[in-house]
């Protein structure tokens, strides 16, 4: 069997931040991406250059403080959903959205209120089957972990 070269920017790309940075370094990297996003009306370079990006602000599940994270928006028709490539546990934003579903989303120069909904049960199973069939990066990630991928939908106010 021959080893395949990962597609640049894919989950398996060894140059992508989630494959090269420690958790602490990812926090620093996120802060820099957030600052660049806000300074340039949603346009950033680096790993996100040319791609879509949003900033999701949640309320901390334990702390009650606001937390902002850059994420790549995913779509199923008109439905915006979010996931993440964190291998050891569900991401903090997922736990926050589950506890406090009122979130703020920054897209380009707009900031809008939204409601996050963590998918569960049969709805999760149906949506995950579709998401994994439609998104090769999520499917590649799911193949590396033993827990279901995180899936959250957003509804705008």
The distance from CA 26 to its chain's CA centroid, rounded to whole angstroms, is 13
Tell me which of 15 and 39 has the higher pLDDT: 39
Look over the chain and give the mean of its residue pLDDT values, rounded to a whole number: 85
- 6 part of a folded domain: no
- 30 part of a folded domain: no
Return the bridge partners of 105, or none.
Answer: 56, 112
Predicted pLDDT of residue 113: 98
Helices assigned H by DSSP within the chain: 17-20, 23-39, 92-99, 121-134, 136-142
The contacts found for 29-36 with CB under 8 angstroms, 24 or more apart, are 30/69, 30/70, 33/70, 34/68, 34/70
- 142 part of a folded domain: yes
State the pLDDT confidence band at 20, using cuts at 50, 70 and 90.
low
- 59 part of a folded domain: yes
Predicted pLDDT of residue 39: 96
Tell me which of 11 and 130 has the higher pLDDT: 130
Please report, for the domain that includes residue 103, its CATH number.
2.30.110.10
Tell me which of 17 and 56 has the higher pLDDT: 56
- 85 part of a folded domain: yes
Q: For the segment 91-144, what is each residue's pLDDT rounded down to a tens digit? A: 899 999 999 999 999 999 999 999 999 999 999 999 999 999 998 888 988 998
Q: Is the pLDDT of residue 7 over 90?
A: no
Tell me which of 89 and 55 has the higher pLDDT: 55
Q: For the segment 64-103, what is each residue's pLDDT rounded down to a tens digit? A: 999 999 998 999 999 999 998 776 788 899 999 999 999 9
State the pLDDT confidence band at 1, using cuts at 50, 70 and 90.
very low
Predicted pLDDT of residue 51: 86
- Asked whether 84 and 54 are in contact (CB, 8 A), the reply is no
Q: For residues 19 and 24, what is the distance between their CA atoms, to the nearest angstrom?
A: 13
- Asked whether 79 and 140 are in contact (CB, 8 A), the reply is no
Residue numbers of the domain that contains 108: 51-156
- 136 part of a folded domain: yes
From first CA to last CA, the distance across the chain in angstroms is: 51
Q: How many domains does the chain have?
A: 1
- 5 part of a folded domain: no
- 77 part of a folded domain: yes
Q: For residues 128 and 148, what is the distance between their CA atoms, to the nearest angstrom?
A: 8
């Amino acid at each position: 069997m021959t080893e395949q070269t990962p597609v640049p920017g894919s989950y398996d790309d060894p140059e992508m931040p989630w494959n090269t940075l420690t958790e602490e370094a990812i926090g620093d990297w996120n802060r820099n991406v957030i600052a660049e996003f806000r300074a340039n009306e949603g346009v950033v370079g680096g790993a996100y250059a040319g791609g879509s990006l949003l900033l999701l602000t949640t309320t901390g599940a334990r702390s009650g403080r606001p937390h902002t994270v850059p994420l790549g928006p995913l779509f199923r028709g008109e439905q915006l959903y979010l996931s993440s490539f964190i291998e050891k546990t569900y991401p903090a934003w997922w736990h926050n959205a589950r506890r406090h579903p009122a979130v703020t989303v920054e897209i380009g120069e707009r900031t809008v209120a939204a409601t996050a909904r963590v998918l569960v049960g049969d709805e999760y199973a149906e949506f995950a089957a579709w998401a994994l069939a439609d998104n090769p990066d999520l499917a590649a990630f799911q193949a590396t972990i033993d827990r279901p991928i995180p899936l959250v939908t957003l509804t705008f106010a």
